[in-house]
Structure 1
């Protein structure tokens, strides 16, 4: 399986509008972070987790010309706002885009993209087939791929991560129940959010993320959903164990099943 980090930034991205801190002014390409999303190439399938506001730019930058399905972690705009741009794949592939999300997220998509699901559609709107994820305690099928939901809390909001083969991907979380830790255990690669150094209401900070990764002890781990408050990529990464790296936009990783 090949994992591509399409975006590794928090909801405001890095650089953040109007900010002149050293991270936002950095010339290091690894400090330029679009909103968090990943692409999975597995089992002959092309799958994206989340379509934030930068979705179009991410697809172009990664040269992704085929997309078979979309998974949503939750309904916040920095993870859903780019859904309209699946139109390009509808046109190329001449079929609806399968979208997998929890029922509450499905309903939010119906509200925010009402024109997509209207009875009488405007010509050219995205063609989307919604597939509710009804259970978080058992895998579901995504065009032949077995996907295990990973339950987490984003402050008080229940959100999902996903385990696909040897990959466990979880962003926008600050609490994991024991059952989720067990579902993540044994993964070859774990991706986890680490917003900044200071504690945060709804995200793991760096210390919290490292504690979880050290308990899980995968072969390799990557941090994502990073804000400008964490610091410059090269300086922060130098403090990490060699098997834990900061993700960055465009990074590709081979994951063992």
Structure 2
């Protein structure tokens, strides 16, 4: 299993357009990028590859990192920074299976799968495959499990991706607070690599209108507002899941420059072989 981090940024990415903060300026000077979220997972046994989320930066990411076009994709939720790159299949793919959760979101009255089908009905190559959360499905030779997480007000999912032959396991928290349900934690547990949402350092909760949540024993918030983990929350989740290795993703440019590029914060283009 070869994992390439195509996009490790939040909804605006780093550097952010029009921003001259120290972090964005340093990213420009050093040629470092965190484009909108997307992960490429290649099965070197079968010669197939799976894409997790369609970043709006899809075209640029694939040209930059020179990874193979995916044979299938999974959409974790319908926020634009995870979905709107799907239009790039036009005149690029002959066919593409797109897997997404089949449970109805009370907020929209549709499942993620139905939203993808309806919003991209004009794209003939797309074959939407409604998928039941917490039930593994075989995709590109991997056992892939969508796991419910907490990203209000919309339903959102993390992923466990396992190679049934080698035992390699990749877990993605998805966009979530620290309040990941227990059954989802069980599905995500013991990964060789965990990609965990860590939008900002915990001390930034003082700037959020609703503050922070899920304080640890030290009183440090593990959730920023209601829908993303803090850095400290993501690291606590990694400990909870007993991850062998952790990379923090979905990172905002609000990280101070002296922390923004420190371990274990990821940047685009990182690759891991599991």
- Of 70-79 and 193-202, more deviation after overlay is shown by 193-202
* d(CA) in 1 for partners of 2:58, 2:16: 18
The equivalent position to 2:31 in structure 1, one of 29, 34, 38, is: 29
> Which secondary structure state, in structure 2, belongs to the residue aligned with residue 229 of structure 1?
coil
Q: Contact 2:190 / 2:244 at 8 angstroms: preserved in 1? A: no
* Other-structure match for 1:142: 139
* d(CA) in 1 for partners of 2:84, 2:134: 28
Residue by residue over 1:38-71, the C-alpha shift from the partner in whole angstroms, topping out at 9 and shown as x without a partner, is 0001242211101121011111111134320011
* Other-structure match for 1:111: 118
* Other-structure match for 1:217: 242
List 4+ stretches of structure 1 deviating above 4 A: none
Residue by residue over 1:100-122, the C-alpha shift from the partner in whole angstroms, topping out at 9 and shown as x without a partner, is 01131122223332422xxxxxx
- Of 165-174 and 220-229, more deviation after overlay is shown by 165-174
Question: How many residue pairs align between the two structures?
Answer: 234
* d(CA) in 2 for partners of 1:67, 1:89: 11
* d(CA) in 2 for partners of 1:153, 1:132: 20
* d(CA) in 2 for partners of 1:62, 1:79: 18
Taking structure 1 as reference, are residues 48 and 111 closer, same or farther at Cα in structure 2, changes over 3 Å only?
same
Residue ranges of structure 2 left out of the alignment (5+ in a row)? 103-110, 163-168, 205-223
For residue 127 of structure 1, report the CA deviation from its aligned partner. Answer: 1.0
Q: Is 1:183 matched with 2:201? A: no
TM-score normalised by length of structure 2? 0.80
* Other-structure match for 1:119: none
The equivalent position to 2:57 in structure 1, one of 54, 59, 72, is: 54
Residue ranges of structure 1 left out of the alignment (5+ in a row)? 117-125
TM-score normalised by length of structure 1? 0.85
* d(CA) in 2 for partners of 1:192, 1:33: 15
Q: Contact 2:50 / 2:140 at 8 angstroms: preserved in 1? A: no
